[in-house]
Amino acid sequence: MRVAFIGQKGLPTITGGVERYVEDLTKQLVEAGHEVFAYTRPHYTDPKLTSYNGVNLISLPSINTKHLDAISHTLLASIHATTQNFDVIHYQSIGPALVCWLPKLLNRQVKIVATLQSRDYEHQKWGALAQWSLKLGEYLMCLFADEIVVVTEAMVRYVKEKYNRTATYIPNGANLYEPTGADLIAEWNLSPDSYIVAISRLVRHKGLSYLVKAFKNLPTDKKLVIVGDSSYSDDYAEELRALAASDDRIIFTGNQTGETLAQFYANAYLFVQPSESEGLSLALLEAMARRRAVLVSDITENLSAVGNTGFVFATTNVADLQAKLEYILANPDMARAKGEEARTRIEQNFNWAVIGREMAKLYAETDRKAWIAASALEAR
């Protein structure tokens, strides 16, 4: 099948969970023999790059601002896609879904699949107009998409209750990584098991301020490493750095990619995700796949990822977070055991090889439904 992906900034991944999702999913689809295309933005992916891991890259311009980047690029990509004889157009997230109806208007034969990763309008970086637009995107996704993919079972229930649509649960995944070295993190004077890590965009709903406050009260020689950059949220990033300024154990590395990022994951004593709002976090799944013990806030999405294999604290509760950190630091054998359990859970429940097959099956089923519907119309 000819499948096009719209909504991601580009490939290969530099930052962003959507980009990571598209990169890993498209790799599986290419290996299964599908012809895959991904639309990219020139500020993220070099326009001269026309192929990556077997995926055909199509560069189109965008208005590179906080509110117009995604929608301007998605609009152009949606128009262009109707001329390319794609079998399936797969939209990523509710913002790009604002125009998922357009290909249907211009080409009734194309099938639309849309992934609802999270309710992005709950994220605190968005103003009232942006929140309204994202809610509209969710509504239009559930109105026009032939198939809706959700990444948690709780979201299946949400879509059914709010929109009376049956969504398909296909979770995000992680690759099953082998051990890696620690030479690249030595730049920050780090060694295996010498630090706690959070890997996240520096945006308010990720809850990093709670982690910094809790860590500052810990009597430990371990460091806290925060890997990531702001995303139209420089004020919050500055607030975080000011909060951490009195503690030289807290390190901000900025955005990291490739082998350096892999080493930050693989050598951490503990991975912490203190989010107030999430989809099914790829960063969390990546840490679990690397046999790291994980400590997460008790929001539904985090709990659906870790099951019984992780440590949990009450969301936004700094005292509880501090207590859980103290307990995990005092019990290294338990931390290692939980890391092994987490790896097994990834292999059994969030394996990209299985997820890729499920998505390809959904595409084929979407195509079959469309053929049956068209045949019924012709019979009339």
Torsion of CA 341, 344, 346, 350, to 10 degrees: -130
- Rounded Cα gap, residues 55 and 23, in angstroms: 9
Q: Are residues 89 and 154 both part of a single domain?
A: yes
Strands 51-52 and 55-59: antiparallel
Is the model's pLDDT at 246 over the cut of 90? Answer: yes
Q: pLDDT-based confidence at 176, cuts 50/70/90?
A: confident
Reported as a single tens digit per residue, the pLDDT across 65-97 is: 878 898 999 999 999 999 999 999 999 998 899
Q: Are residues 268 and 307 both part of a single domain?
A: yes
Across the chain, mean pLDDT equals 92
The predicted structure's pLDDT at residue 231: 74
Q: Determine the average pLDDT of the residues in 265-293.
A: 95
Q: Provide the 3-class DSSP secondary structure of residue 317.
A: coil
Is the model's pLDDT at 232 over the cut of 90? Answer: no
Q: Determine the average pLDDT of the residues in 305-316.
A: 97
Is the model's pLDDT at 378 over the cut of 60? Answer: no
Q: Provide the 3-class DSSP secondary structure of residue 218.
A: coil
Q: Are residues 118 and 226 both part of a single domain?
A: no
100, 141 in Cβ contact below 8 A? yes
Quote the radius of gyration of the chain (alpha carbons, Å).
21
287 lies in some domain = yes
Reference 222, options 186, 187, 251; nearest CA is 251
Token output for 62: 């965008």
pTM for this model (two decimals): 0.88
Is the model's pLDDT at 371 over the cut of 70? Answer: no
Q: How far apart are the first and last CA of the chain?
A: 28
Is the model's pLDDT at 375 over the cut of 60? Answer: no
* Enclosing domain of residue 54: 2-173+351-379
Tally of residues, the chain = 380
Q: Are residues 87 and 211 both part of a single domain?
A: no
CATH of the domain at 313: 3.40.50.2000
- Rounded Cα gap, residues 223 and 265, in angstroms: 14
Question: Which of 194-208, 220-234, 313-327 bottoms out in mean pLDDT, i.e. has the lowest?
Answer: 220-234
Other C-beta atoms within 10 Å of 258: how many? 11
Reported as a single tens digit per residue, the pLDDT across 102-133 is: 998 887 788 999 999 988 767 666 678 888 98
Reported as a single tens digit per residue, the pLDDT across 11-66 is: 999 888 899 999 999 999 999 999 999 999 999 999 999 999 999 999 999 999 87
Is the model's pLDDT at 314 over the cut of 90? Answer: yes
- Phi and psi (nearest 5°) for 252? -105, 120
Q: pLDDT-based confidence at 380, cuts 50/70/90?
A: very low
**Neighbouring residues of 163: CB distance < 8 A, sequence distance ≥ 6:** 139, 142, 143
297 lies in some domain = yes
- Rounded Cα gap, residues 350 and 95, in angstroms: 25
Q: Are residues 200 and 57 both part of a single domain?
A: no
Reference 291, options 268, 318, 312; nearest CA is 268
Reference 158, options 172, 173, 144, 138; nearest CA is 138
Is the model's pLDDT at 373 over the cut of 80? Answer: no
Q: Are residues 169 and 263 both part of a single domain?
A: no
Q: Determine the average pLDDT of the residues in 130-151.
A: 93
Reference 294, options 279, 274, 323; nearest CA is 274
Q: Are residues 206 and 339 both part of a single domain?
A: yes
- Rounded Cα gap, residues 57 and 40, in angstroms: 7
191 lies in some domain = yes
- Rounded Cα gap, residues 170 and 180, in angstroms: 29
Alpha-helical runs (H) found in the chain: 17-31, 69-81, 102-106, 128-144, 153-163, 208-216, 234-244, 258-266, 282-289, 300-306, 318-330, 332-349, 352-379
Q: Are residues 150 and 191 both part of a single domain?
A: no
Q: Are residues 51 and 85 both part of a single domain?
A: yes
Q: Which of the pair, 231 or 86, is modelled with greater confidence?
A: 86
94, 120 in Cβ contact below 8 A? yes
| Cα torsion angle, 352, 358, 364, 367, sign | negative
309 lies in some domain = yes
Reference 41, options 20, 2, 84, 71; nearest CA is 71
Q: Are residues 143 and 223 both part of a single domain?
A: no
**Neighbouring residues of 312: CB distance < 8 A, sequence distance ≥ 6:** 295, 296, 297, 298, 302, 303, 306, 324
Is the model's pLDDT at 340 over the cut of 50? Answer: yes
- Rounded Cα gap, residues 56 and 258, in angstroms: 21
DSSP for 180-194, written as a single string: ---SGGGGGT--TTS
214, 188 in Cβ contact below 8 A? no
Q: Are residues 334 and 372 both part of a single domain?
A: no
The predicted structure's pLDDT at residue 309: 97
Is the model's pLDDT at 370 over the cut of 70? Answer: no
Q: Are residues 264 and 358 both part of a single domain?
A: no
Question: Which of 59-73, 119-133, 279-293, 323-337 bottoms out in mean pLDDT, i.e. has the lowest?
Answer: 119-133
Tell me how many domains the chain contains.
2
178 lies in some domain = no
